[in-house]
């Protein structure tokens, strides 16, 4: 437990620059989440609260609030929608853990490991529907519409990813398009909502959405790199699941693009085999090619392109935090 | 295939009285569903279209449209929301089939059987989010709010049902409360939306919601009876899954309430064992107790109570159809 707290504090400290400009509003979001997620039935209440504790960084609520503060000021709508996007994100995490058969997330047992896959599926559905309900308590349908559309694109992206498993011919373009839908879209949605509810005009709302999308894609590439490289004690979640699920990510795509046809055939055979062996063989290949550094550079260049979208804004602590987070997501070790 | 079409036509004929007053509007709903559910990615498009073909009776869209016509007239809002509730219903079916490990629904392979559990989870998420998006295209947040809240109650009901598995002490009251949430709520939501968007006042909207709730609970009891009694060729879906999943339903609850403590202990042991043996033993018990007829009577009395809510309405073809469907759901064999 103290290990968990310790690691959470480390994470929080590392991200302090990011949360500082919106600390009070984030605390309100936290209160909203605690109030909203619960049940009169004790067994269900325990499941909901455990499931929700697996979210964590509050990156998406922070993006939404910071985008509001970067272009204007933060209102009640921002706080409601910040809770909404965190619920949506947690719902996708809970369902991802079923898909990945993961047993560990943020140093805690996943819902599927502690309860069952069935409970995980239903918990995710509960969180999705609660998020949509909460969004519908605002005065207009704008929030519902943007969130409904983004969530739908996220789901389509995930479906495409599942249907691409074991497809070792997946192109870099198709990979980027999938993660843009799967991860980029919800981050774009956060920044779009933040800017819209702070009164930004259509052009600025669109620019903020592009910032969010680039940031999200960069974040996902970095996350995929962690899955190839990282170790569980550091990241606090089940790793190596991409290899086990024969999910192609950027370093692998780059590697296969560069080798000879014979080497490619050999590598594909390894990738189609046991993950432990694949990891061993890959680490040798990664040591003598640019696959890892290439993936890192793609992520960094997307993060830079995203930051350029902020150029027209007057500088304040929120714009600095957004720039800093763009740097953080491509360099993070946690 | 002709077997499938034949059985679909039978079902359609049996329900003709129900669809007749709103036939043109239902055809529009069907067009909306066909237009909305699709993907530019062929593999995803096939999955979406197959998954959606597993819905079928269009009971919920019909309830929504008939409720509108019973109290006033049917508008564009009704048609959009009718498509929305069918998407939500199909999403819960697709996720139910994962939970139940069912392989057959409406004479066709389930998504989890033909693709994978993962695809089923994501397909359900896609349908949920698309439904919420579509609801948000209306002018006000009313539809989103009612549908978001109802869906959330449905999920909580399903979570309670999963957490009650193997609890042979489940009371009749708790069972009814669970199916009221799981099935009654979405039917209540359909009738509420139908009445609201036809301009009914708050009292009438509430009465129509009560009608829908009673109808839904009666329907679920009848469905649970089919699971105990029915055979797959007639119903076109995997059956006996309640027994396999140790899910208590009304006939079992009634049976256990009536027997001696020694018989109860014996029955509980049978219920905790293999489903085939449980089915055999139960059929003997059902033959010499009132368990089945009791469950049927509870369903019928709920359907009657629901119909009483319609008493204040001027009679038209829609009110007659609503009365007839209340009779149908508790007598259906399909």
CATH number for position B24: 1.10.600.10
User: Average pLDDT of A181-207?
Assistant: 98
Least confident of A71-80, B94-103, B280-289: B94-103
Which B positions 6-65 lie with beta carbon below 8 A of chain A? Answer: 39, 41, 43-44, 47
Cα A101–Cα A107–Cα A109 angle in degrees, nearest 5 = 45
Is the separation of the CB atoms in B219 and B327 below 8 Å? no
Cα A332–Cα A219–Cα A221 angle in degrees, nearest 5 = 100
**Secondary-structure percent of chain B, ordered helix, strand, coil, rounded to 5:** 75, 0, 20
What pLDDT does A102 receive? 62
Q: What is the DSSP string of B3-47?
A: HHHHHHHHHHHHTHHHHGGGHHHHHHHHHHHHHHS--SSHHHHHH
What pLDDT does B245 receive? 84
Nearest to B246 by CA among B165, B163, B171, B160: B165
Q: Is residue A26 situated within a structural domain?
A: yes
Give me the helix-helix angle, A185-196 and A59-71, nearest 10°. Answer: 40
Q: Is residue A96 situated within a structural domain?
A: yes
What is the C-alpha to C-alpha distance for residues B135 and B144, in angstroms, rounded to an integer? Answer: 6
Nearest CA distance, B293 vs chain A (angstrom): 31
Q: What is the DSSP string of A88-112?
A: HHHHHHHHHHHHHT--EETTEE-HH
CA dihedral B77, B83, B88, B94 (to 10 degrees): 180
Q: Would you call A163 and B130 a contact, using CB atoms and an 8 Å cutoff?
A: no
- Closest Cα in chain B to A158: B122
Q: Would you call A138 and B137 a contact, using CB atoms and an 8 Å cutoff?
A: no
Considering only CA atoms, give the Rg of chain B.
20
| Neighboring chain B residues of A128 at a CB cutoff of 8 Å | 125, 128-129
Residue position matching structure tokens 């960069």: A218
Nearest to B197 by CA among B252, B245, B153, B140: B140
What is the C-alpha to C-alpha distance for residues A100 and A247, in angstroms, rounded to an integer? Answer: 11
Give me the helix-helix angle, B172-179 and B142-163, nearest 10°. Answer: 140
List, for residues B82-114, the tens digit of each pLDDT value. 999 999 999 998 888 776 666 655 556 666 666
3-state secondary structure of A248: coil
| Neighboring chain A residues of B122 at a CB cutoff of 8 Å | 95, 99, 155, 158-159, 162
List, for residues B217-236, the tens digit of each pLDDT value. 999 999 999 888 865 445 55
Q: Would you call B141 and A138 a contact, using CB atoms and an 8 Å cutoff?
A: yes
CA dihedral A64, A66, A68, A71 (to 10 degrees): -140
List, for residues B294-318, the tens digit of each pLDDT value. 999 999 999 999 999 999 999 999 9
Would the pLDDT of B126 be above 90? yes
Helix (H) or strand (E) holding A47: helix A42-53
Q: Is residue B7 situated within a structural domain?
A: no
List, for residues A48-61, the tens digit of each pLDDT value. 888 877 657 899 99
| Neighboring chain A residues of B126 at a CB cutoff of 8 Å | 152, 155-156, 159
Higher-confidence position of A266 and A109: A266
Q: Is residue A334 situated within a structural domain?
A: no
Helix (H) or strand (E) holding B230: none
User: How far, CA to CA in Å, does B73 sit from each of B25, B48, B243, B307, B324?
Assistant: 11, 32, 44, 20, 20
Q: Would you call A160 and B41 a contact, using CB atoms and an 8 Å cutoff?
A: yes
Higher-confidence position of A277 and A82: A82
| Neighboring chain A residues of B163 at a CB cutoff of 8 Å | 41, 43-44, 47, 119
Q: Is residue B217 situated within a structural domain?
A: yes
Is the separation of the CB atoms in B153 and B181 below 8 Å? yes
Q: Is residue B267 situated within a structural domain?
A: yes
ipTM above 0.85, yes or no: yes
Residue A130 at interface with chain B, using a CB cutoff of 8 Å: yes
Q: Is residue B1 situated within a structural domain?
A: no
CA dihedral A177, A181, A184, A188 (to 10 degrees): 120
What is the C-alpha to C-alpha distance for residues B244 and A63, in angstroms, rounded to an integer? Answer: 46
Write down the mean pLDDT value for chain B.
88
Would the pLDDT of B54 be above 70? no
B109 forms bridges with which residues in the sheet? B104
Would the pLDDT of B7 be above 70? no
Residue B162 at interface with chain A, using a CB cutoff of 8 Å: yes
Q: What is the domain count for chain A?
A: 1
Nearest CA distance, A127 vs chain B (angstrom): 8
Residue B151 at interface with chain A, using a CB cutoff of 8 Å: yes
Residue A162 at interface with chain B, using a CB cutoff of 8 Å: yes
What pLDDT does B1 receive? 32
List, for residues A155-173, the tens digit of each pLDDT value. 999 999 999 999 999 999 9
Cα B237–Cα B242–Cα B247 angle in degrees, nearest 5 = 155
* Separation of first and last alpha carbons in chain A: 18
Q: Is residue A47 situated within a structural domain?
A: yes
Quote the pTM value: 0.90
Give me the helix-helix angle, A76-100 and A23-36, nearest 10°. Answer: 60
Percent of chain B past pLDDT 70, that is, above it, reads 86
Residue to substitute from A98, A134, A136, interface B, most B β-carbons within 10 A: A136
Least confident of A124-128, A245-249, A328-332, B219-223: A328-332
Nearest to B332 by CA among B224, B213, B243: B224
Q: Would you call B156 and A125 a contact, using CB atoms and an 8 Å cutoff?
A: no
- Closest Cα in chain A to B130: A152
What pLDDT does A253 receive? 97
A108 forms bridges with which residues in the sheet? A105
Q: By residue range, what is the domain housing residue B139?
A: 12-329
């Amino acid at each position: 437990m103290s290990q968990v707290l310790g690691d959470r504090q480390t994470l929080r400290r590392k991200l302090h620059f990011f949360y500082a400009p919106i600390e009070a509003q984030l605390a309100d979001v936290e209160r909203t989440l605690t109030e909203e997620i619960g049940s009169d039935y004790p067994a269900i209440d325990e499941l909901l609260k455990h499931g929700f504790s697996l979210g964590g960084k509050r990156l998406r609520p922070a993006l939404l609030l910071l985008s509001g503060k970067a272009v204007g000021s933060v209102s009640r709508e921002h706080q409601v929608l910040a809770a909404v996007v965190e619920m949506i994100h947690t719902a996708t995490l809970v369902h991802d853990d079923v898909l990945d058969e993961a047993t560990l997330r943020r140093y805690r047992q996943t819902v599927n490991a502690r309860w069952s896959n069935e409970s995980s599926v239903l918990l995710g559905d509960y969180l999705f529907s609660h998020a949509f309900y909460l969004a519908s308590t605002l005065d207009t349908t704008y929030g519902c519409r943007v969130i409904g559309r983004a969530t739908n694109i996220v789901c389509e992206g995930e479906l495409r990813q599942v249907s691409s498993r074991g497809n070792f011919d997946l192109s870099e373009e198709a990979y980027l398009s999938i993660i843009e839908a799967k991860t980029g879209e919800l981050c774009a949605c956060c920044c779009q909502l933040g800017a819209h509810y702070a009164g930004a005009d259509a052009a600025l709302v669109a620019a903020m959405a592009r910032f969010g999308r680039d940031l999200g894609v960069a974040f996902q590439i970095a996350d995929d790199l962690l899955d190839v490289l990282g170790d569980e004690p550091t990241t606090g979640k089940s790793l190596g699941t991409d290899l086990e699920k024969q999910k192609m990510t950027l370093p692998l795509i780059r590697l296969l693009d560069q080798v000879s046809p014979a080497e490619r055939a050999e590598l594909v055979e390894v990738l189609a085999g046991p993950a432990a062996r694949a990891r061993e063989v890959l680490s040798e290949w990664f040591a003598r090619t640019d696959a890892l550094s290439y993936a890192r550079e793609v992520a960094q260049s997307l993060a830079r392109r995203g930051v350029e979208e902020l150029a027209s804004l007057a500088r304040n602590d929120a714009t600095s935090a957004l720039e800093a987070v763009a740097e953080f997501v491509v360099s993070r070790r946690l």
